[in-house]
């Protein structure tokens, strides 16, 4: 159960990181 939870947290962080990364790519386009 603990392993599943850590996997879930890792998955959430991964999605959050990729979201931030795409956001940092998109934001400069809006600021033009």
Confidence band, pLDDT 50/70/90 cuts, at residue 32:
confident
Which among 22, 24, 26, 25 is positioned nearest to 14, based on CA atoms?
22
- The whole-number pLDDT of residue 31 equals 80
Confidence band, pLDDT 50/70/90 cuts, at residue 30:
confident
Q: Alpha helices of 1-32 — where are they, by DSSP H? A: 2-31
1 three-state secondary structure: coil
Q: Where are the domains of the chain?
A: 1-31
Which pTM was predicted?
Answer: 0.59
Span 9-26, pLDDT tens digits = 999 999 999 999 999 999
């Amino acid at each position: 159960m603990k392993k599943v939870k850590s996997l879930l947290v890792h998955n959430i962080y991964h999605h959050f990181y990729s979201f931030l990364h795409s956001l940092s790519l998109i934001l400069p386009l809006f600021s033009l």
